[in-house]
Structure 1
Amino acid sequence: MEDHTPTKRLHTTAGALAAEDLGLILPHEHLFVDFRPSDSPGFAQASPAEFSALITPLLTAAAGAGVTAIVECTPPGLGRRADLIREVSRATGVPVALATGVYREPWVPEWVYRASDRDLEEWMVRELTEGVDASAVPAGFIKISADEEGLRAVEERVLRAAARAAVRTGALVGTHTTGGAVVLRQLEIAVAEGLPPDRFLSIHTQTLHDDGVRRAILDQGAWIEFDDVGQGPDHVTVDLVLRTLEAGYGDRVLLSHDAGWFDPALPGGGAPRPFTHLTRTFLPALRAAGVDDPTIDDVCRHNPFRAFAR
């Protein structure tokens, strides 16, 4: 009997890519971010040539270190520039998956407060299926966030809209939230909206210092991400990875740098951190700690694809 099961693909600036098209994937990086208020002079503005001059070497070095795709996690409200990213991605040959969604206050775009819940959902679906802004590149996933002390009203509205949009499209919902109780509440709400737990990702999970909270997220079938590789002593994150693997959760953990990026508030875009520490330094440290190559391949290649593909 002929198999008509649709093939899952990662939606990127290089098109919708199948698993066999990709190797190691970095699931949390940034190429362009502007944390200033959106009414600041020059917000999210950059010369394409200046942006390319800073970011092209980063992507080229990443490819040279074995990276085959990057997930760019900047949502609207933080200066997302799909047009610039699309061009530098195509020039370097490094596929980049873009984010839709809404960050937390005070970076929530003003239009979000005026939009209906249905409008928010439909906007995310359009970005996931038709393209981000005028780039014609569909978003690869939905990025949301929440205050560490608890979900604010607009953040809960965004979460519910994101969950419904993800149910319709198969997209992953990733949340930048560093309070464990808040993450669990977000997961509870998302599941109540119909989202399968394996379509939910806890970003920056290294900030959740309670192993019990991490286990509670994983036990429900959701993903966790240690994305501070290269930001501090490697042995700290190596220990987190080892404990996660030893507990039997190796099929739901992701690794990345949360590095980059071009910052238009800084002269020349600033001095971004590279995307090479994982492959050149961190993975050798994991191997030295006893993690075998098939496991590393699962964590760095298969897991990101399974998480983000749809």
Structure 2
Amino acid sequence: MAVQTGKTLQSHFINTYNNLSVLGKVPSEELGVVLPHEHILVDYTTGLDTTTSFLNGRDVAGLPVTMENLGFTRRFMYSVRENVVLDEIEKAETEVGLYKTSGGGCICEMSVVGMRRKEHSFDDLARISKATGVHIVSTTGFYSESFLSAEIKTMSVQSMAELMKTEVAIGSGPMGLKCGVMYIACSDPLKETEKKALEAAAITHKETGVAIQVAPGRTTDLPFRILDRLYSYGVHGQAISMSHVDRAFSDCETNLKLMSDLCHRGCYINHSLFGKECSHYPCNEDFDFPSDAQRIARIKALVDRGCLDHLLVSHDIVCRNEWACYGGYGYGHMLDHIAPKFLNRGFQRATVDRIMRENPQRWLTCSEFR
């Protein structure tokens, strides 16, 4: 199908969009609890890390994900090849079904170009959604430059925008399934492809109204620079979510102020790594990964600073050891364990609902801010 551009594409989108899940229109109030950053079917082997010094040269890439290896796999989740691929459709149905049983309503599936399975098909997400009753929002966009092919790296800004607009407004696969959100992953310093992807996302947002999620690397100033860049392209802060803030900002007063400043500049911030509680962070050996309790304490401090309307939470499940069938918490962790902990730590029920329901629903339906 030829790519449609300009007013034709925008008109098509405006006539059909209402929080587009893989099964079609969903009124925002019917989404329920939303996990705004997860993976259901993904291939992260490009990010396989077998060089971390803590392995002491041990070759572990070929280890199976078994009970005997579970403790090791939890600590070095990105070093075991089998662990960084989620491709079992029936097990995915079971895992998403468990989330439904816990009270979940919607999952944003963030597997974009650079981390999609070779046999990637939005039709598989539709099958999982139908089988479980969970609304799944599929994602268009680009992962960080080191994950992308030479062909993608040579694309122009306009070509990248056309690809994303097509996946949003026209859809793909035999069923023409459409994407309802964008995701751009970035490095520090920003690579040229990532700069192009951010500009292309801004173009796509302004023509379609689809929200943007950004993975802003692992430094505390990059989210601000990315936000400035998106603002310069005319994107409204309510359309932007900065994901993975819990891998860059440590537990100190200075970083709490930075996160508060980021919220007050208008975007959402997503503590999107709940359930990852190993203090060893293989992607940055100098950084102590927080526990869920520390994440909750930080969110409470941000609420006290007036940031409630800008907070999102999720797990970023990307590895097998995070699925319940492989010994993990699964997608229900936020409802089964974190929501009760919020209440135990003095949050009001309405505050929890704001963070887990209302904020992500509002972010996903940001088209009014174009």
Distance 1:204 1:158, change over 3 A: same
Do the aligned residues in 2 keep the contact of 1:218 with 1:249 (CA within 8 Å)?
yes
Q: 2:88 aligns with which of 47, 51, 61?
A: 51
Distance 1:134 1:37, change over 3 A: farther
Deviation at 1:184, TM superposition (A): 1.2
**TM-score of the superposed pair, with normalisation by structure 2:** 0.73
Task: For residue 276 of structure 2, give the secondary structure of its aligned residue in structure 1.
Answer: coil
- CA shift for structure 1 position 280: 1.1
Residues 68-217 of structure 1 mapped to structure 2, 5 A cutoff: 68-80=105-117, 81=120, 82-147=122-187, 149-177=188-216, 178-209=218-249, 210-217=255-262
CA contact (8 A) 1:58 1:274 kept: yes
Pick from 269, 276, 287: which aligns with 2:332?
276
Are residues 133 and 100 of structure 1, via their aligned partners in 2, closer, same or farther at CA, if it must alter by over 3 Å? farther
Confirm or deny: 8 A CA contact 2:113 2:143 kept in the other structure: yes
TM-score (norm 1): 0.87
Answer whether contact 1:13 1:90 (CA < 8 A) is retained: no
Rounded to whole Å, the distance in 1 between the matches of 2:147 and 2:256 is 30
The residue identity in structure 2 corresponding to 1:194 is G
Aligned to 1:296: 352
Q: Secondary structure at the match of 2:29?
A: helix
Q: CA RMSD in A?
A: 2.6
Aligned length: 292
Alignment CA distance shift 1:134-1:116 (3 Å):
farther
Q: What amino acid is the match of 2:145?
A: E
Q: Deviations over 1:210-262 (max 9, x none)?
A: 22331232121001001122222321111111011111111110011112556
Deviations 1:60-81 (Å, cap 9, x if unpaired)? Answer: 1100000011111111110253
Aligned mates of 1:104, 1:188 — CA distance in 2: 19
For residues 251 and 132 of structure 1, do their structure 2 counterparts lie closer, same or farther at Cα, with a shift above 3 Å needed? farther
* Counterpart selection for 2:263 from 203, 218, 227: 218
- Give the superposition deviation at 1:111: 2.5
Q: Give the whole-Å Cα distance in 1 for the aligned partners of 2:149 and 2:172.
A: 16
Distance 1:261 1:134 in 2: 28
Shift of 1:25: 1.0
Alpha-carbon separation, structure 2, partners of 1:132 and 1:72: 16
The verdict on how the C-alpha distance between 1:260 and 1:153 changes in structure 2, with shifts beyond 3 A counting, is closer
- Aligned counterparts of 2:230 and 2:173: Cα–Cα separation in 1: 26
Specify the SS of the correspondent of 1:198.
helix
8 Å contact 2:112–2:140 — kept in the other structure?
yes
Per the TM alignment, residue 128 of structure 1 is displaced from its structure 2 partner at its CA by: 1.2
Q: Which amino acid aligns with 2:115?
A: L
Whether 1:253 aligns to 2:311 is: yes
Contact 1:32-1:261 at 8 Å conserved across structures: no
CA contact (8 A) 1:226 1:256 kept: yes
Unpaired runs of at least 5, structure 1: 264-268
Letter in structure 2 aligned against 1:294: A
Match of 2:297 in 1: 239
Shift of 1:207: 2.1
The 3 A distance-change label for structure 1 pair 205 and 55 is same
Query: In structure 1, how many angstroms separate the alpha carbons of the residues matched to 2:198 and 2:166?
Result: 17
Q: CA deviation at 1:10?
A: 1.9
* Counterpart in the other structure of 1:266: none
- The Cα offsets for residues 103-136 of structure 1, whole Å up to 9 and x where unpaired, read as 1121123332232221111211111111145552
Task: Name the % identity.
Answer: 22
In our comparison, the structure showing a higher alpha carbon Rg is 2
From 341, 358, 364, the equivalent of 1:285 is: 341
